[in-house]
């Protein structure tokens, strides 16, 4: 094999997948509550903060259903068998599907909380629902179809 004209380092010179880069960027964007939070923060700090906002509350509800069949069954009875899809860190559009379904099932989610889990720290307030609708609109922008085709 002929020698390369420069020192080749596979780690330094690798070409990253554009779809993966976009996924990471969108995942981090979803975690930011405000621009000031992002300034000077590491990606790790931003990523851990999403669990405390509306997205985190929604994620925690889905995880609760996945871990507790009794709570899932209660929700399925209220929602006529409909469930919330699980978000997935490897596909940002899983957040789109989750938020879209949650908004459609908002009345069932509120009824679930009011009936069985009123004191939950993950209770979604009206302000949280407004934020979720804003996030959904931003994920539905014209560039969304282009991004989905890339990831």
Tens digits of residue pLDDT in 67-101: 999 999 999 999 999 999 988 777 767 888 899 99
Domain housing 43? 10-150
Q: Assess if residue 1 is contained within a domain.
A: no
Query: Does residue 109 sit within a domain?
Result: yes
Residue with tokens 């010179």: 13
Residue 51, pLDDT score: 57
Q: Is residue 35 part of a domain?
A: yes
- Assess if residue 102 is contained within a domain: yes
Q: Is 88 contained in some domain? A: yes
Contact 8, 136 (CB under 8 A): no
Q: How many domains does the chain have?
A: 1
Task: Please check whether residue 136 lies inside any domain of the structure.
Answer: yes
What 3-state class would DSSP assign to 134?
Answer: helix
Low-confidence ranges of the chain (pLDDT < 50): 35, 38, 46-50, 151
Q: Is residue 2 part of a domain?
A: no
47 located within any domain: yes
Contact call for residues 28 and 95 (beta carbons, < 8 A): no
């Amino acid at each position: 094999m002929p020698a390369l004209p420069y020192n080749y380092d596979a780690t330094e010179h690798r070409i990253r997948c554009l779809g993966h880069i976009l996924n990471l960027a969108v995942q981090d964007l979803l975690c930011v509550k405000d621009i000031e939070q992002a300034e000077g923060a590491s990606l790790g700090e931003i990523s851990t903060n999403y669990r405390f906002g509306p997205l985190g509350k929604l994620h925690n509800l889905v995880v609760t259903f996945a871990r507790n069949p009794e709570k899932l069954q209660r929700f399925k009875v209220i929602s006529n068998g409909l469930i919330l899809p699980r978000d997935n860190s490897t596909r940002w559009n899983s957040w789109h599907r989750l938020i879209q379904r949650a908004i459609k099932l908002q009345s069932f989610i509120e009824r679930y909380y009011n009936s069985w889990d009123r004191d939950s720290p993950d209770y979604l307030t009206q302000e949280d629902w407004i934020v979720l609708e804003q996030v959904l609109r931003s994920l539905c922008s014209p560039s969304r179809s282009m991004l989905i085709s890339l990831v």
